[in-house]
Chains A and B, each alone.
Chain A
Amino acid sequence: MSRAKSPFSPAAVLRGALVPMLVVALWQGLSMSGLINPVVLPSPVAVVERWWAYLLPPDPYDPAQGSWFLWALSGEMLFDAWSSLYRVVLGFAVGAGLALPLGLAMGGKPRIYALMDPLLQILRPIPPIAYIPLAILWFGLGNAPAVFLIAIGAFFPVLMNTIAGVRHVDGIYLRAARNLGVGRTTMFIRVILPAATPYILAGARIGIGTAFIVVIVSEMIAVNSGLGFRILEAREFMWSDKIIAGMFTIGLLGLAIDIGMNRLNNHLLRWHRGLEN
């Protein structure tokens, strides 16, 4: 992104807001016309009101109950968002934590690759969602099956990219390192791993995206908290405004995760030549 054209100049903001505003206006017009049952399509105003109520703490502030800060965070939405984020992070950490060393080994050692590849090729096309029955059978309900599913979702993208990253390490770095007297272990940790980080981080980004999809699905099945649970719960009460408010929250959390990943990416790859923005 060039610095000359700031994305926050008045003209740019106006242009960016144009289509969303049109859509909202159309939506508001539709619901005000009375043609559509508000249970099917609530008005945008109702959605915003619901979203606000979802965000705010349920009870008024009572100093006797403790700190103001904790009270401000006691709203249902923040608790749900936190629950979902916690599962994503935990599941991703487990999946990527297993995929990274395995990917390094498979990328670096053809023998390990030959050993592991057939099994992984069979498992890889199975969507994480297809593990749901098994996950519940093995882990019951609660966080455990959700984390298991998310870990599977994050595992394969990180694994495949780590293998590719190790294989694409430019031979010139290996030669330079050998010339400096670098041994096998150091070669892996200080040369191959950093050289493969652009690939690994690209895989991590796909992995966390998958993890975010899986967390919403698994919350609709295995647990009773989180954003996925909340929109399904709202459906039972026919609260369509809350469903849509919840969906927006899911979108916002996804965006926040993506921005966080982007920041991490830019920091870890600050040395990398082909980096945009």
Chain B
Amino acid sequence: MTPMLKTIADGQPAAWTGAGTAPVQISVRGVEKSFTAGAQPIVALKDIDLDIRKGEFVCLLGPSGCGKSTLLNAVAGFQPPTRGTVNVDGRLITEPGPDRGMVFQEYALFPWMTVAQNVAFGLEIKTMPKAEIAERVEWLLGKLHLQDFRNRYPKDLSGGMRQRVAIARVLALDSPILLMDEPFGALDALTRRTLQDELLRIWEEVGKTILFVTHSIEESIYLADRIIVMTYRPGTIKRDVQVEMPRPRDASAPEFNRLKRELSQMVMEEQQRFSQDEIRSVTAD
């Protein structure tokens, strides 16, 4: 762990808002991404400028189709932008790498590996000594309450359990950055809240920079230091909202609800454009 992350970990976990002074870690500049689908190109992202500081928990919020995954994939290095650059720690991103651990909505666990093997896989790639891998896997399984499931295959796990394994797998890499694409989107409300709390606990403990995609307004307020609201086609940054409430956040608090109303208003505007677009595309056929 770098000294920087140590400082964060040793800080005041519950009310830590020091990211405002931390150095910039992810820097997105003038990013544009268009897809050629049929006759006219789809501009999924346009003029995206975004700086994310070390240790910050940032949510990308917007209706479906507004380019959240596209932006996350550009940072992950899966899809290079059509124009513009993404830099991480001053290095231009051209390909995926274990410094930016990704958690997918579809879990993306390797079904032929057991829970423990899935968690260990990234470490084996790093050619870590066997004993050290075993120790680290054990620690992570404990951290995510997976000890009793270590020898199960993913097919025998619930959605929530699978996502725990996926989180343990990227945590094993000890990457400074976590990228999460609607990781809890397929889970029931209760499991979702449990995992949100666990994610926050782990984040406060190990101090990662997290870029978290969601279309749930409530989820973004519950989790984030900062919420980036996106527009629909072209995907741009509509608003950059700082969330100052101390954690754990109470979803019934007046402040929470005020912010929720405000964000709902913004997301609804974009959602309407999305719906109109869908109707147009149906009637055009």
A179-B102 contact in complex given A186-B125, A270-B153, A273-B155, C-beta closer than 8 Å? yes
Within 8 A of A (CB), among B153-210: 153-155, 169-170, 173
Q: Give the complex CA separation of A179 and B103 in angstroms.
A: 10
State how many residues of chain B have any CB contact under 8 Å with chain A.
27
Q: Are B104 and A172 in contact (CB under 8 A)?
A: yes
Looking at chain A's contact residues, the main secondary structure is: helix
A186 CB, nearest partner CB in chain B, Å: 7
A247 lies within 8 A of chain B by Cβ? no
Q: B96 contacts which chain A residues (CB < 8 A)?
A: 175, 178-179
B141 lies within 8 A of chain A by Cβ? no
Q: Are A176 and B125 in contact (CB under 8 A)?
A: no
Q: Give the complex CA separation of A194 and B110 in angstroms.
A: 9
Q: A182 contacts which chain B residues (CB < 8 A)?
A: 125
Q: A249 contacts which chain B residues (CB < 8 A)?
A: none
The residue that B112 contacts in the complex, of A176, A178, A181, A271, with Cβ under 8 A, is: A271
Q: A177 contacts which chain B residues (CB < 8 A)?
A: 110
Q: Report the nearest A residue to B102, measured CB to CB.
A: A179
Q: Are A272 and B125 in contact (CB under 8 A)?
A: no
Q: Give the complex CA separation of A273 and B112 in angstroms.
A: 10
Q: Report the nearest A residue to B169, measured CB to CB.
A: A180
A179-B110 contact in complex given A271-B153, A271-B155, C-beta closer than 8 Å? no
Q: Report the nearest A residue to B113, measured CB to CB.
A: A271
Kindly list 14 other residue pairs between chains A and B, CB separation below 8 angstroms, not including A175-B102, A180-B173: A172-B106, A173-B110, A176-B108, A178-B96, A179-B76, A179-B98, A179-B100, A179-B170, A180-B121, A180-B122, A180-B125, A191-B110, A195-B112, A271-B155
The residue that B101 contacts in the complex, of A179, A195, A272, with Cβ under 8 A, is: A179
Q: Give the complex CA separation of A271 and B113 in angstroms.
A: 8
Q: Are A176 and B102 in contact (CB under 8 A)?
A: yes
A161 lies within 8 A of chain B by Cβ? no
Q: A181 contacts which chain B residues (CB < 8 A)?
A: 97-98, 122, 125-126, 173
Q: Give the complex CA separation of A273 and B101 in angstroms.
A: 26
B139 lies within 8 A of chain A by Cβ? no
A273 CB, nearest partner CB in chain B, Å: 4
Q: Are B104 and A176 in contact (CB under 8 A)?
A: yes
Q: Give the complex CA separation of A177 and B155 in angstroms.
A: 19
Q: Give the complex CA separation of A197 and B113 in angstroms.
A: 13
Give B residues with C-beta under 8 Å from A.
76, 78, 95-98, 100-102, 104, 106, 108-113, 121-122, 125-126, 153-155, 169-170, 173
B111 CB, nearest partner CB in chain A, Å: 5
The residue that B111 contacts in the complex, of A175, A179, A190, A271, with Cβ under 8 A, is: A271
Q: Give the complex CA separation of A176 and B105 in angstroms.
A: 12
A182-193 vs B, Cβ < 8 Å mask (1 yes, 0 no)? 110010001100
Q: Give the complex CA separation of A194 and B109 in angstroms.
A: 13
List 8 contacting pairs A-B, 8 Å CB cutoff, sorted by A. Answer: A177-B110, A178-B78, A179-B97, A179-B100, A181-B122, A181-B173, A195-B112, A271-B112
Q: A176 contacts which chain B residues (CB < 8 A)?
A: 102, 104, 108-110
Q: Give the complex CA separation of A57 and B108 in angstroms.
A: 58
Q: B78 contacts which chain A residues (CB < 8 A)?
A: 175, 178-179
**What are the 8 tightest A-B residue pairs by CB atom distance, in nearest-first order?**
A181-B98, A176-B108, A180-B122, A194-B112, A271-B153, A273-B155, A179-B102, A178-B96
Q: Give the complex CA separation of A178 and B125 in angstroms.
A: 11
Q: A178 contacts which chain B residues (CB < 8 A)?
A: 78, 95-96
Q: Are A180 and B98 in contact (CB under 8 A)?
A: yes
A169 CB, nearest partner CB in chain B, Å: 11
Q: B113 contacts which chain A residues (CB < 8 A)?
A: 271
B240 CB, nearest partner CB in chain A, Å: 27
Q: Report the nearest A residue to B105, measured CB to CB.
A: A172
Q: Among the interface residues B95, B111, B112, B169, which one has the most CB atoms of the partner chain A within 10 A?
A: B112
Q: Give the complex CA separation of A25 and B102 in angstroms.
A: 68
Q: Are A172 and B108 in contact (CB under 8 A)?
A: yes
Q: Report the nearest B residue to A178, measured CB to CB.
A: B96
Q: Give the complex CA separation of A186 and B100 in angstroms.
A: 20
A233-277 vs B, Cβ < 8 Å mask (1 yes, 0 no)? 000000000000000000000000000000000000011110000
Q: A172 contacts which chain B residues (CB < 8 A)?
A: 104, 106, 108
Q: B170 contacts which chain A residues (CB < 8 A)?
A: 179
B215 CB, nearest partner CB in chain A, Å: 20
Q: Give the complex CA separation of A25 and B53 in angstroms.
A: 85
Q: B121 contacts which chain A residues (CB < 8 A)?
A: 180, 190
Q: Give the complex CA separation of A183 and B97 in angstroms.
A: 10
Q: B106 contacts which chain A residues (CB < 8 A)?
A: 172
Q: Give the complex CA separation of A271 and B173 in angstroms.
A: 24
Q: Report the nearest A residue to B172, measured CB to CB.
A: A180
